[in-house]
Amino acid sequence: MKAVAFPAKIANLSFPSNCCSLFFRSPATFLSPALPCRKLTKGIRGVEGLMSQCLSSSSQSLSFLSNSFSSQPESELLQALPSSKPKSPPLQLPWLIVGLGNPGKKYQGTRHNVGFEMVDALADAEGISMNTVNFKALFGKGVIGNIPIMLAKPQTFMNLSGESVGQIVSFYKIPLKQVLVVYDDLDLPFGKLRLLPKGGHGGHNGMRSIIDRLKGSRDFPRLRIGIGRPPGKMDTANFVLRQFNRQEQEELDHTFQTGLEAIRILLLEGFNKSATFVNTRKSMEQLS
């Protein structure tokens, strides 16, 4: 039997798998009576007929698949597809804002406790409860904008403030650049604020304790509140434990308002903008 030479348009066609299974069989199987396309004795016409039958079967299969998918709701089809879930944003670590002072009614309203008062003002403004005692401090959690914050007023007395701050920083793994310490400063004029990115303790025992507990690191921001120098020859220890008179308290309330705005800017817009705001006289004029 001579080999049949197929025309180019037939030889170059690609066939579905079910059609190919009909072509590539053994002669015995191919000529089985069970197959509807068993006779290829008619040459090219026989092949074309077989091709037509195979292509018709493939079209019916594709039509069935298309109808099956079109009858399904879009939500089901999307669920069947491999999902590419977006990566969740990195965990936002909280800011820790610490106000320094001494616990107890005896020290309320004294110059050495302006750090406590600033944190109280911030808690009141942002609706944060400070009734929890944790890490040797009065402690509260909240948010400013979308930034989580923790407020702390160490109850260890001023000279041991680092015991509380060190525990909080270690437990929550807070970066030091997100630890703001608020405290009184003798070297600043009364009511003046100064925001710094880092620095030493400046002779302040509370800051000295914190730096010691942070393994000597000074790389954390601090907001200093000026209480002025003692008049005449008054002892410094007695001066810092004195309470404010009415006029001083009114001026201090303006200072706290400036401090609150500075803290909000720090958290939401960054250190540089906050420092520019709080370290200039313009900020005081805006709020007066």
Per DSSP, the residues of 62-111 read HHHHHHHHHTS-HHHHHHHSPP-PPPPPPP-PPEEEEE----SGGGTTBG
When the pLDDT of each residue in the chain is averaged and rounded to a whole number, the result is 80
**pLDDT tens digits, one per residue of 80-123:** 555 566 676 667 889 999 999 999 999 999 999 999 999 999 99
Q: Please give the Cα distance from 284 to 254 (Å, whole number).
A: 8
- pLDDT 10s digits, 150-181: 999 999 999 999 999 999 999 999 999 999 99
The whole-model pTM stands at: 0.69
To the query of whether residue 112 is one of the catalytic residues in this protein, the response is: yes
Contact 259, 182 (CB under 8 A): yes
Question: What is residue 280's predicted lDDT score, i.e. its pLDDT?
Answer: 81
**pLDDT at 66 (0 to 100):** 52
The answer, yes or no, to whether residue 239 has pLDDT greater than 70, is: yes
CA distance 206 to 203: 9
Higher pLDDT, 141 or 52: 141
Residue 213 has pLDDT above 50, yes or no: yes
Q: Which domains, ranges and CATH numbers included, belong to the chain? A: 95-279 (3.40.50.1470)
Contact assessment for residue 174 and residue 168, using Cβ atoms and an 8 Å cutoff? yes
The one catalytic residue in 112, 201, 204, 254 is: 112
Predicted confidence (pLDDT) per residue in 7-39, tens digit: 554 445 554 455 444 444 444 444 444 444 444
What's the angle, vertex CA 184, arms to CA 166 and CA 254, rounded to 5? 120
* High-pLDDT (> 90) share of the chain, %: 62
Q: 185 — phi, psi (to 5°)?
A: -140, 120
Question: In b/e form, how buried is each residue of 211-221, taking b as 16+ CB within 10 angstroms?
Answer: bebbeeeeebb
Please give the order of strands across the beta sheet that includes 193-196. Answer: 132-134, 137-144, 147-154, 95-99, 179-185, 222-226, 193-196
Helix (H), strand (E) at residue 260: helix 246-269
